Amino acid sequence: MKEKLKAIVDEALDKIKASQELESLYDIRVQFLGKKGALTEILKSMKDVAPEDRPAVGQLVNEARTTLEGKLEEMKELFEKKLREEQIRKETIDVTLPAKKTIVGHRHPNSIALEEVERIFVGMGYEVVEGPEIEYDYYNFEALNIPANHPAKDEQDTFYINENIVLRTQTSPVQVRVMEQGKLPIRMIAPGRVFRSDEVDATHSPSFHQIEGLVIDKNITFADLKGTLAEFAKQLFGEDAKVKFRPHHFPFTEPSAEVDVTCFKCGGEGCRFCKGTGWIEILGCGMVHPNVLRMSGIDPEEYTGFAFGVGLERIALLKYEIDDMRLLYENDVRFLKQF
């Protein structure tokens, strides 16, 4: 009996030693310790053992079981450890692998320029106001002191929806709508899309953007206008930017002026960018015409004001040194991603 037991234990130990994986350990356990296993068979044959020897044999069988179970557990832990290590090795992140790039877009140069202009004027206490792109003839022309026979009203310049409704040619009608409300003083800019029946070329488009400003209060003079636009130019083009006012004519302002800023490329010495003049035209402006104030119910004897208008595309073209306005509308990402 003793020899038989030893043979069983030795065989089991050999098999455990030779096993290569967790599953074979399971098979070994069944083969030797299971219900029909070799060790269990020995216990079953105890009835053939003399009663006085039974405790000793039982102890031997128990020892054999303990030995085998201990060895099986030891191997099992070894295999599990190996598996874990393998898994960790597989899941290790290779930090030298090239990263997946997320391509982040950005705003259009027009939007960047608009936000820049808005930031400057909001900083000076202006309100940003928007209005309809499809506008009554009255707001677009009449209320701005543009008479019926004015060349701007020519069908060659304006898109007419019908006799009384147009695609706005400027954002000034937004100013009229604000003035009509009668809440004074006014300090506002009106940015937005405007339309003119122009042919597309490097400097023209049937649809473009304007930012118009309006200030109405008591005792507003041309000096306020000059100071405001000088500050605007400095913030937009740098501390050294100077402005120059040239007399001009607009129906809605009197007196009116066109404003040039010193060329930010050459600092005023003259270069290809400013066509050798040292100056670059940026906007039109003037003191609000008394007729315009009167038509919106504001007393020109009590209140005065100034207005200005700047082309957003003009700012973007200058700021980013773009030489063709069409590039701003073609939405070619190879162009746009430069800004």
| Positive or negative torsion for Cα 14, 15, 20, 25 | negative
- Taking alpha carbons only, the member of 142, 128, 141, 199 closest to residue 167 is 141
Closest-by-Cβ residue to Zn ion is 263
Beta carbon of residue 265, minimum distance to Zn ion (angstroms, whole number): 4
| 115's tokens | 């936000």
Locate tokens 């190996």: which residue? Answer: 82
Beta carbon of residue 125, minimum distance to Zn ion (angstroms, whole number): 32
Beta carbon of residue 266, minimum distance to Zn ion (angstroms, whole number): 3
| 274's tokens | 């400013």
- Of residues 52 and 321, the one with the C-beta less far from Zn ion: 321
Binding site for Zn ion (CB under 5 A): 263, 265-266, 271, 273-274
- Of residues 263 and 318, the one with the C-beta less far from Zn ion: 263
Beta carbon of residue 252, minimum distance to Zn ion (angstroms, whole number): 31
Is 254 labelled as part of a ligand binding site? yes
Q: What is the DSSP string of 80-148?
A: HHHHHHHHHHHH---TTSPPPPP------HHHHHHHHHHHHHHHTTPEE----SEEEHHHHTGGGT--T
- Of residues 150 and 265, the one with the C-beta less far from Zn ion: 265
- Of residues 41 and 269, the one with the C-beta less far from Zn ion: 269
DSSP-derived 3-state class of residue 170: coil
- Taking alpha carbons only, the member of 239, 258, 237 closest to residue 247 is 258
Residue positions forming the annotated binding site for Mg(2+): 254
